[in-house]
Structure 1
Amino acid sequence: MIKKQPSTDDLLAVIIKGIDDVKGQNIQLLDLREIDNTVCDYFVICSGNSNTQVDAISGSIQKAVGKELKDKPWHVEGQGNSEWVLMDYVNVVVHIFQKHVREIYDIESLWGDAKITQINPA
């Protein structure tokens, strides 16, 4: 039996819900589909206030996606120090930063050609 991949829209919705469930902040969606040679279709970027919150956000996303979509990240990096955790769901890559680290790397500027949407969960 072939495992059906969740739709990208469903995946984005569940990731954003997972971030919001543990009060992740400043959620931005970068649409990379119109840019040549990108590694994925979307980046989801958010901030946490501490290592503990960054860990909680990453855990919440994995739990929500696992439960609702029966999917898991292809790869996760950065859980050791939890300043910047990257979660690779193939079409969607999630970046969870502590605020000060997010300011240093400023990914939004690096991908200035992307369509950026500020997400304000209810």
Structure 2
Amino acid sequence: MTDYNVREAALVAAKAADEKKATDIMVQEVGELSSVADYFVIATAANNRQVDAIIDAIEEDCREKIGVKPIHREGIEAGTWALLDYGDFVVHVFQPEARDFYRLETLWNDAPVIDLAEAGITDAEYSDRIAKLMGRE
């Protein structure tokens, strides 16, 4: 049992990604479909430097605002994809080619997608593929 609101923590991560100009940000509530985590936060970064900046911002905001640190970090060195595992929520940041190749968000098609307005994000930018997936065509 966690001592913080997992949904709120996932939204803090999404907001941090948005503040570093991530695109295609999605927060999926996967708890009913997966034993891996309750929420997945998925975002796209334009290049290696932006992947690093987004990951750093998410770690900092989650530590300062929620008081949590990732249990596990993966892919940080490669720069095309990075993962922060907080146990109850997992953050994935991809460059566009890797995001399109893995299509992680489609693995949980039945998972509810959280409205980013809950995190104060009102002008999120979406590629055509993700907008269509989210019904925002």
Q: Compare the two structures and name the one with the higher strand fraction.
A: 1
Structure 1 residue 118 displacement after superposition:
5.9
Cα deviation 1:89-120 (Å, max 9, x = unaligned): 11100110001100000011222222234636
Give unpaired runs (5+ residues) of structure 1.
Answer: none
2:129 alignment partner in structure 1 = none
1:60 aligns with 2:61: no
Cα deviation 1:24-57 (Å, max 9, x = unaligned): 111011111221x421111010000000000100
1:26 alignment partner in structure 2 = 24
- Aligned length in residues: 118
2 CA distance for matches of 1:53 and 1:88?
Answer: 19
2 CA distance for matches of 1:13 and 1:116?
Answer: 12
Q: State the TM-score, normalizing by the size of structure 2.
A: 0.79
1:76 alignment partner in structure 2 = 73
1 CA distance for matches of 2:7 and 2:112?
Answer: 16
What secondary structure sits across from 2:28 in the alignment?
strand
2 CA distance for matches of 1:33 and 1:66?
Answer: 23
2 CA distance for matches of 1:31 and 1:71?
Answer: 19
1:6 alignment partner in structure 2 = 4
CA RMSD after TM alignment: 1.6
Aligned-pair identity in percent equals 34
2 CA distance for matches of 1:107 and 1:48?
Answer: 15
Give unpaired runs (5+ residues) of structure 2.
Answer: 123-137
Amino acid at match of 1:91: D
56-65 vs 37-46, which moves further: 37-46
Of the three residues 97, 101, 105, the one matched with 2:98 is 101
2 CA distance for matches of 1:95 and 1:71?
Answer: 17
Matched-pair contact (CA < 8 Å) for 1:46–1:97? yes
Q: State the TM-score, normalizing by the size of structure 1.
A: 0.88
Q: Classify 1:116/1:13 alpha carbon distance in 2 versus 1 (closer, same or farther; 3 Å).
A: closer
2 CA distance for matches of 1:16 and 1:109?
Answer: 18
1:91 alignment partner in structure 2 = 88
